Amino acid sequence: MGFKYLNKEQDIFDGDDGEDVYANEEQLQARLEYFEDQLAGLSEGAPIEERITSLLEIGRIQVERYKGADAWEKAFTAFNLAQQDELWELAVEACDVMFLSEGPDALVALGHALWLGVTFPIDPEITVAMLQHLVEESPEEADTRAVAAAAAHYITSVRCGADDELTFFTSQMLASVADKHSHITDQSTFDLWRKTLKLDEPEVFLKKLSGAVDQLVDDKWWIDRDKIKAKLDNET
């Protein structure tokens, strides 16, 4: 079962012939011009969310058009605007666009998306999508895949509840990871696998996830994590 929060539409290059590809490119160009006009038409006093949203839409379209450099530029601008106003969900979406642009620092962007998506109680569907990126980027036998899937299931359990469809999805994602990681095919061996890797202990697997994020970012942080943590501590 696949899951993509920010890319739910059919791939634009799934057409059967060249005419379909050409038609889709025309549609993308029309969408691009629409959002560029929207962005250009914003007044100085317009809500910052509108500017960020337009930038992200342009970035996503450029990802679809394989214009990675332009997608990165728009998304990074959106990220900076979002973090200035502490719009963390939009900041994560901007990181997702940067990751999908496949730029030189795409994994750095993914690391930021993961840290922010886990730290802040944003839409859990977005957080799960970022964790799924980490699953897909990691070798099948790597413990990082298991840690990411366990974190996704834990987050949906906390933010959505045990009976939510997203929680069911993350349970299936964890089962799939277990199968590919250690050829787990039944409940008893799954329970043993989960206990052996301490995937039933959030304080353990979340710390491992933090280590994986640090490896992705490699000290290229665009945010002040200590300042954010201090503010969150004061608020609680």
Write the CB contacts of 114 (distance below 8 Å, at least 6 apart in sequence): 130, 131, 134, 209, 212, 213, 216
Amino acid at 60: R
Residue 210: how many other CB atoms lie within 10 Å:
15
pLDDT digits (tens, 9 = 90+) for 19-67: 565 669 899 999 999 999 999 999 989 999 999 999 999 999 999 999 9
Query: How do residues 153-199 score in pLDDT, each as one tens digit?
Result: 999 999 999 999 999 999 999 999 999 999 998 999 999 999 999 99
Task: Please choose, from the candidates 146, 135, 54, 67, the residue with its C-alpha nearest in 3D space to the C-alpha of residue 100.
Answer: 67
Per residue in 61-109, pLDDT (tens digit) is 999 999 999 999 999 999 999 999 999 999 999 999 999 999 999 999 9
Residue 11 scores a pLDDT above 50: no
Q: How far apart are CA 16 and CA 36, in angstroms?
A: 30
Residue 236: the pLDDT is 75
Question: What pLDDT sits at residue 12?
Answer: 27
Closest CA to 212 of 155, 156, 146: 146
| Cα–Cα distance measured from residue 48 to residue 183, given in angstroms and rounded to the nearest whole number | 48
Is residue 7 over pLDDT 50?
A: no
Query: Which band of pLDDT confidence, cut at 50, 70 and 90, is reported for residue 4?
Result: very low
pTM metric for this prediction? 0.88
Domain residue limits, the chain: 9-104, 107-236
Length of the chain (residues): 236
What pLDDT sits at residue 1?
A: 31
Q: Is the pLDDT of residue 6 over 80?
A: no
Residues 41, 43, 48, 53, Cα dihedral to 10°: -10
- What is the structure's pLDDT at 23? 60
Residue 235 C-beta-side C-alpha neighbours within 13 Å: 7
CA 236, CA 225: separation in Å to the nearest integer?
Answer: 17
CB 113 within 8 A of CB 119: no
Whole-angstrom distance, CA of residue 59 vs CA of residue 57: 5
Please state the rounded mean pLDDT for residues 203-223: 97
